[in-house]
Amino acid sequence: MKTENFRILLAEDDFDFGNILKQYLEMSGYTITWAQDGEEALALFKKDSFHICVFDVMMPKMDGFTLAEKVIEQNPEVPFIFLTARKLKEDKIKGLKLGADDYIEKPFDADELVLRLNNILRRTSTVFTPKLKEEIIRIGIYVFNARRLELIYEESVQQLTEKEAALILFLYQHKNQLLKREEILKSVWKNEDYFSGRSMDVFISRLRKYFKNDTKISIESSRGVGLEFKIR
């Protein structure tokens, strides 16, 4: 997989380690933006776009866990990896619950990190391609522009991410049908692992907010089975 077009936000407060890691990742073809504390990393994330983030857990001003939570608020689609010198089981569980795509303990082999980055980017870098002929789709009181990635309600326009649009499109194509979680994950995320499942839960919550103005539209969960996109 070619890596030269992938941008990584690296947050690592250890200068020597961060400098070496930055150089190694750049030698592997990535474009690296390096922050030396959590606050600087968050500011950089808000100003620029990145394909993946690599966060040290223990950092000054803002730790990696808090940083990840704030990044998720900004853009839940961006995958992230935690690096840590701590070997506490509680830390690993906390990181995974936040939705981390991986959790790597120091010291580690840099080649292993590159392989893990490649695997995550291969899984998450899917291109949204509408499968319906219609560019404009009416969903209840909303207008969904699949190509422009917009959900329109009266004079309000909600700009969608590619993943949000892909999920809306898939749910609409299977409206009023009970869908298994695995079916949704395979079609939209191209993966059924734990991290993709956590990501899907975040996106479903966002879509419920987007469609809240139409009481005839709902996304209902059937515990242990799946979801149903209901349009009455």
pLDDT string in tens for the chain (232-residue length): 555 568 899 999 999 999 999 999 999 989 999 999 999 999 999 888 888 999 999 999 999 999 998 988 887 778 899 988 877 777 778 777 777 888 888 888 888 889 889 888 877 665 444 455 557 899 999 999 988 889 999 989 998 888 888 899 999 999 999 999 999 998 888 777 777 788 888 899 999 999 999 999 999 998 778 999 999 9
CATH number of 136-231: 1.10.10.10
CA 52 to chain centre: 9
Whole-angstrom distance, CA of residue 101 vs CA of residue 194: 9
Q: Where are the domains of the chain?
A: 7-124, 136-231
Q: Report the run of H or E that residue 157 belongs to, with start and end.
A: strand 156-159
CATH superfamily of 7-124: Response regulator (3.40.50.2300)
Look up the pTM and report it. Answer: 0.58
CA 40 to chain centre: 21
